[in-house]
Amino acid sequence: PLNNEEEDKIPEEGTITVNEKTVGNAVKHEFKTETKRLLDIVAKSLYSDKEVFIRELISNASDALEKVRYLQLTDEKALDESVANNPAEIHISINKKERTIIFQDFGIGMNEDEVNNNLGTIANSGTLAFLKKLDQSSSSAKENMIGQFGVGFYSCLMVAEKVEVFTRSAHKGSKGYCWTSDGTGSYDVAEADGVTVGTKIVIHLREDCKDFADISTVQRIIKRYSNFVQYPIVLNNKRLNTIQALWTMNKNEITEDQHIEFYRFIANAHDKPQFTLLYKTDAPIQISSLLYVPQYHSETMGLGRMQPGVSLYSRKVLIQAKCKQLLPEWLRFVRGVIDSEDIPLNVSREMLQDNALIARLKNVMTTRIIKWLLEESKRDPEKYKLFASNFGNFLKEGICADYGFKTDIAALLRFPSTKTGKDEVTSFDEYVEKMPKDQECIFYTCTPNRSIVEDSPYYEPFKQNDVEVILCHEAIDEFVMNNLHLYKGKRILNIESQAAAEEIAK
């Protein structure tokens, strides 16, 4: 929610005027049937909530700015002179009275062909084929860029009773065009004068979508989805996006204060992170991630179950906040961002459920997080001991619930034993390392405290043979040890079991 002075700061009235004039007659085009079907699919299912049209148009504008900046660097002389004086910004202007929201970018713009084809391109590849490709994990970034441009734009037809697009390509000598449609069956294209290089999209909102002409609604949506877009987003003359997408920077460029600020922003937290991981990889999928382990967590204070806290981004644009499918439940204490350009921007909440790519992303990230925690345990054993004790329950849940990573998670556990000092702990690896050569099992006992073990008859033979016994004080430990059952080939036995009595009698 906006606090008052901030609300005051943004003028109510939009500042983008529409002075373009069409020249000559408009050419009417029927939407190809494929296009119409795609329109329906997009309007009805592809987007879980209408508000994402703002994200989509901002993303198109950002891509368009990227393209013109690239051309300025590589082929300056091909560009219209006016380009050099245009701001590399995205302007959004809303007008409550007229019920309009206008997006203007000073990007690469479109020529007549693109105006006609960018919408058609994806429909040409067939609606279902397109949607299947959208869902495929292998689709490369450039492929879904087309999808991005085309489908993204469609989304504004979900909220519009009429759309006017004024665009002029940045390439020297290009004419300006005006594309208009009410999203039903056809669209008009006409040449236009007075068009600035780039693209201006004037959306006349439907009655039931007038909220998108409300300043605080639009500000909230932009902050939520597009807060990390690399170009300034100016809403009614107020610059919005300020926090940098830290995860795209290099590790040594980021200060600890930036981490703390970013962590508090994305985790909506007030503490500091105790562990930080900046992880990027290009194969098997492109991932840029910045993850944090909080200092504290709410489950110990019985304040209810922590909600998963990692958000899914694609090229700095939010896809899904606190996405449940990104990590297994037992890692719900991890906070941060996972950004993958291979995820189609338009993927909807439903598609995340069984998306093959998401499942692979989850596997890669779970493996990397376990490795990260193991590294932290070696970097600072004392600090890690505190983490293992405060967050041990999450790890133990991972062993009981999460197949495939049991042994790796077990290596992260820390327990006292009959050989550790009072406040000391040991690990399975340490236990196995210290074991006599001929010992083949790991022994443990579940006991409320250490002193009870000393007098236990079961412990007697282990004491005699100076065999270390792991001490488990938590109820869940019995399940953990049973579930684990083996650690690196060593059976894990409760000293009260028959098997243990046989082992120690050898």
Ligand X SMILES: Nc1nc(Cl)c2cnn(Cc3ccc(Br)cc3F)c2n1
Q: Which is nearer to ligand X, 118 or 258 (CB)?
A: 118
Q: Which two tokens stand for residue 117?
A: 């084809």
Q: Is 110 in the site for ligand X (CB under 6 A)?
A: yes
Closest separation between CB of residue 141 and ligand X, Å?
A: 16
Helix axes 33-41, 141-154, angle to 10 degrees: 80
For the residues of 293-352, what is the DSSP string, one character each? EES--TTTTT--PPPPEEEEEETTEEEETT-TTSS-GGGTT-EEEEE-TTS-TT--HHHH
**Closest residue to ligand X in the complex (CB):** 64
Q: Is 405 in the site for ligand X (CB under 6 A)?
A: no
| Count of positions on this chain that bind ligand X (CB under 6 A) | 18
Please identify, among the stretches 36-44, 109-117, 205-213, 273-281, the one whose residues bind ligand X according to the rule CB under 6 A: 109-117
Closest separation between CB of residue 30 and ligand X, Å?
A: 15
Q: Are 471 and 453 in contact (CB under 8 A)?
A: yes
Nearest to 49 by CA among 176, 159, 213, 190: 159
Closest separation between CB of residue 199 and ligand X, Å?
A: 4
Distance CA 280, CA 78 (A): 35
Overall size of the chain counted in residues = 506
Question: Does an H or E element contain 437, and which?
Answer: none
Closest separation between CB of residue 181 and ligand X, Å?
A: 8
Q: Are 43 and 206 in contact (CB under 8 A)?
A: no
Positive/negative CA dihedral, 467, 468, 473, 475 = negative
End-to-end CA distance of the chain: 70
Q: Is 105 in the site for ligand X (CB under 6 A)?
A: yes
Closest separation between CB of residue 115 and ligand X, Å?
A: 5
Q: Is 118 in the site for ligand X (CB under 6 A)?
A: yes
Q: Which is nearer to ligand X, 58 or 481 (CB)?
A: 58
Nearest to 395 by CA among 496, 320, 293, 310: 293
Closest separation between CB of residue 56 and ligand X, Å?
A: 9
Distance CA 147, CA 152 (A): 7
Touching ligand X, residues 206-245 (CB under 6 A): none
Distance CA 28, CA 107 (A): 26
The residue within the footprint of ligand X, chosen from 108, 278, 327, 347 (CB under 6 A), is: 108
The residue within the footprint of ligand X, chosen from 42, 94, 115, 471 (CB under 6 A), is: 115
Question: Does an H or E element contain 473, and which?
Answer: none
The residue within the footprint of ligand X, chosen from 16, 58, 119, 338 (CB under 6 A), is: 119
Site string for ligand X, 131-160 (x = CB under 6 A): ------------------x---x-------
Closest separation between CB of residue 197 and ligand X, Å?
A: 10
Closest separation between CB of residue 62 and ligand X, Å?
A: 9
Taking the mean position of all CA atoms in its chain, how far away is CA 168? 34
Q: Are 458 and 496 in contact (CB under 8 A)?
A: yes
Closest separation between CB of residue 152 and ligand X, Å?
A: 6
Q: Which is nearer to ligand X, 165 or 425 (CB)?
A: 165
DSSP 326: S
Site string for ligand X, 164-203 (x = CB under 6 A): -x-------------x-------------------x-x--
Please identify, among the stretches 57-65, 128-136, 241-249, 403-411, the one whose residues bind ligand X according to the rule CB under 6 A: 57-65
Please identify, among the stretches 112-120, 309-317, 370-378, 413-421, the one whose residues bind ligand X according to the rule CB under 6 A: 112-120
Q: Which is nearer to ligand X, 64 or 290 (CB)?
A: 64
Q: Which is nearer to ligand X, 179 or 225 (CB)?
A: 179
Distance CA 33, CA 177 (A): 24
Q: Is 387 in the site for ligand X (CB under 6 A)?
A: no
Touching ligand X, residues 60-89 (CB under 6 A): 60-61, 64
Closest separation between CB of residue 183 and ligand X, Å?
A: 11
Q: Which is nearer to ligand X, 63 or 503 (CB)?
A: 63
| Cα dihedral value 447, 450, 454, 455, nearest 10 | -50
Q: Is 489 left (phi over 0), alpha (psi -120 to 50) or beta?
A: left
Q: Is 469 in the site for ligand X (CB under 6 A)?
A: no
Q: Which two tokens stand for residue 424?
A: 């000391």
On the question of a cis peptide bond just before residue 461, with omega within 30 degrees of 0, the verdict is no
Q: Which is nearer to ligand X, 197 or 291 (CB)?
A: 197
Backbone angles phi, psi at 320, to 5 degrees: -150, 115
Tokens 């690239």 belong to which residue? 70
Q: Which is nearer to ligand X, 130 or 330 (CB)?
A: 130
Q: Which two tokens stand for residue 11?
A: 């003028």
Positive/negative CA dihedral, 349, 351, 354, 359 = negative
Closest separation between CB of residue 212 and ligand X, Å?
A: 17
Q: Is 107 in the site for ligand X (CB under 6 A)?
A: yes
Distance CA 465, CA 468 (A): 9
Closest separation between CB of residue 90 and ligand X, Å?
A: 9
**Residues that bind ligand X in the complex, under the rule CB under 6 A:** 60-61, 64, 105, 107-110, 114-115, 118-119, 149, 153, 165, 179, 199, 201
